[in-house]
Structure 1
């Protein structure tokens, strides 16, 4: 009995010593680096519910087959990832397979994270295990109905669509370009929102080598805009500096962040280094446009718009714009950049899909808080002020105004977005 007791004591001592040595091996610099990378990946935005604790999960995400809820990724050993080894952590992040072997839904952007280097996976693991406060909060089951909630088909999905290769630098490009490509394609997972999805919910492209990549997509009632070099609907008129300023502050001379892009600015890009933002800007400016083919490059012209605004009783959309929008965005549509977004020539306004315009009018937008300082002006919501027909008339006016020349929006399109649950807003 005494021998057994002594062996048990020795075993516990060895385990405790191992844990102590592991803790000593973790440097504050590694934790800090992991914290920065978690910001680049914007982990907190998806894994934190409204008014919830950071990284504790519970945020609903809409899919075509039902809502799923983000998981607890704090180091709590019972409800979080506290028992994950670094290998298991990397497998979840880059392969979409949890510790117990079940497959994650591709709403988790592991097809992008597959490109993340082993070193960055290590830093992230160190941060989540040592720099995040454990929160005991059970994960919520998805609302996907049976039999669609079976996960074994995801193994087949991965076999078809998951590219497991870590990002490989292009020797023909400079260091800034490669850093930007690594961040955009990998941890930044820009394509998860801005790239069209196929019938199996797969991103149609994962790199700039395809015209589909970053060409825009509609998710949860918002149109994630085209990030390619298109003149009218993309970033063709933006300089590298414009992109950097937008990512750092949420606003520039062309546009302001709104809707689901706002938390990306607040929680991720505003805290990124100028060097990394320079890389992202340089990379994005090399992604050639495709969506504007056959269209004339936009040229500002306000003459017919101002004429309509002078006859508000004749033009219903003009009356509504004059009543609810002109005070901030101006009769000329130029706003007061960067505080009040210009609408004339704004690629979000010129998007052929009006979802974002409808959504921001109905539901307003979260407040930008670059460097923790709230922006002085915020887009209010008009859900309870304007009916579907009025919103459609207002959107249609902006789609025609200042020489935009887009098709009009229907009240039916407005009604569809109005019916969407608040979680989508």
Structure 2
């Protein structure tokens, strides 16, 4: 029996429109649309797919695209997406194009309130004026208004003080547009624009500092993403994906499945389902070309690529010969909960629907976050009308019968027999993932966060003031 899992529907009439170029020239002004422009709206539709707007702004199981209500997990609490349909009462129907651009690029709503960077305005700030205009025309002229207000975000104090985001933006928001690198090819420049300004790959894959801002010196080097871990996708052959071929990466972005390497789950599965699979092949290849040449960032703790670990197990005969009480606890649980699909050998199903556990990045990674999260939450993605599904064994699933110790035992058995034998999982590790994953300093400080940010801004202002005074005295 398979667990029923709510499905987030793709955009109605979703098609991979061929676009001559994603990079629009900057106009320097916000043009107000005098009426629906079909060609511009179609281009805006494609850009909305590339930006993965539907994944976050459509609630699971909803038949109303862009009506909001999706709970985005963050270390500070759940942040619920808003209604971005052109409803004048509940959505963005009263936004001018300039106000739309401010929200998209600077995270400031029409009423002046700040958005949380769960809405990736820190990446969208790189969008060209032409693309902002196309998105505005699409949402205002081609999206059906939905007259409902989704659940409101209610973070605990002090994170509920949205004005504090003004300080955060002053410290960390790089409000500049994308500029092509003349030393790179047109394909690589387009790939960079797609990867950053639209697909916002950096939002998940770039490590963050104590204040949850991206570390500019470590782009795409891997980061915790609530319970999941978005791995290093730089060109390093050991820590990153430098050993992947261009075809491997193309297949992964289009399908989420590369046998013998990786399968997409969680937010990456959502991105593939709602965005990448519908993009023009030329745009995916441009992203591949860009990512393949991202400067390598290595971690000394990595001794082999994630996908290189493990081999098939010969324990199937042991299962048949030994009574259950002679198996280790992890092996006993694996045989009852996992082996029916992944086989006692870890080879998965012959058709590849259930993936092999060895030579699998989730099992060969230096940390077990994604393995634990997969067991807890399961996997679901729909590509080309075919659904890939694994039930979760955590909260909310009908098979929520495994304790933290149980999942730790299964994880350790899988790691030792199919994955990275250096990884050890404790019940506390599972408990941490259940609670939402590692929390950055800003989440741990709680009530001290806002005062600390204010002090930081005051000190920065004083430093600039004294630097200016010193410069003037030197000139005098």
State TM-score, norm by structure 2: 0.76
Alpha-carbon distance, 1:82 to partner: 0.6
1:5-404 equivalences in 2 (<5 Å): 22-23=34-35, 26-52=36-62, 53-205=64-216, 210=217, 212-253=218-259, 254-293=261-300, 295-298=302-305, 299-300=308-309, 302=311, 305-306=313-314, 310=318, 313-335=326-348, 336=350, 338-366=352-380, 368-371=381-384, 373-375=385-387, 377-383=388-394, 384-402=400-418, 404=420
Alpha-carbon distance, 1:137 to partner: 1.7
Alpha-carbon distance, 1:406 to partner: 2.5
Maintained 8 Å contact 2:228/2:373: yes
Alpha-carbon distance, 1:243 to partner: 1.1
Alpha-carbon distance, 1:27 to partner: 2.4
Change in CA separation of 1:178 and 1:39 when aligned onto 2, cut-off 3 Å: same
Maintained 8 Å contact 1:230/1:292: no
Change in CA separation of 1:127 and 1:301 when aligned onto 2, cut-off 3 Å: closer
Alpha-carbon distance, 1:307 to partner: 6.0
User: C-alpha offsets along residues 360-397 of structure 1, whole Å, 9 cap, x if unaligned?
Assistant: 1122122x2212x123x521223324322121111112
Q: Secondary structure at the match of 2:370?
A: helix
Q: Secondary structure at the match of 1:378?
A: strand
Q: Secondary structure at the match of 1:306?
A: coil
Q: Distance in 1 between matches of 2:239 and 2:328?
A: 26
4+ long deviations beyond 6 Å:
none
Maintained 8 Å contact 2:227/2:434: no
Change in CA separation of 1:60 and 1:28 when aligned onto 2, cut-off 3 Å: same
User: Which sections of structure 2, spanning at least 5 residues, go unmatched?
Assistant: 1-31, 395-399, 438-476
Q: Distance in 2 between matches of 1:285 and 1:343?
A: 26
Change in CA separation of 1:21 and 1:315 when aligned onto 2, cut-off 3 Å: closer
Q: Distance in 1 between matches of 2:433 and 2:317?
A: 27
User: C-alpha offsets along residues 81-140 of structure 1, whole Å, 9 cap, x if unaligned?
Assistant: 111111111111011111121111111111100111111111101100011000112254
Aligned residues: 391
State TM-score, norm by structure 1: 0.84
Maintained 8 Å contact 1:233/1:351: no
Change in CA separation of 1:358 and 1:187 when aligned onto 2, cut-off 3 Å: same
Maintained 8 Å contact 1:250/1:256: yes
Maintained 8 Å contact 1:255/1:342: no
Change in CA separation of 1:60 and 1:29 when aligned onto 2, cut-off 3 Å: same
Give the superposed CA RMSD: 2.5
Alpha-carbon distance, 1:43 to partner: 0.5
Maintained 8 Å contact 2:309/2:364: no
Q: Distance in 1 between matches of 2:208 and 2:428?
A: 24
Alpha-carbon distance, 1:309 to partner: 7.8
Paired position in structure 2 for 1:10: none
User: Which sections of structure 1, spanning at least 5 residues, go unmatched?
Assistant: 1-19
Paired position in structure 1 for 2:430: 414
Q: Distance in 2 between matches of 1:66 and 1:315?
A: 38
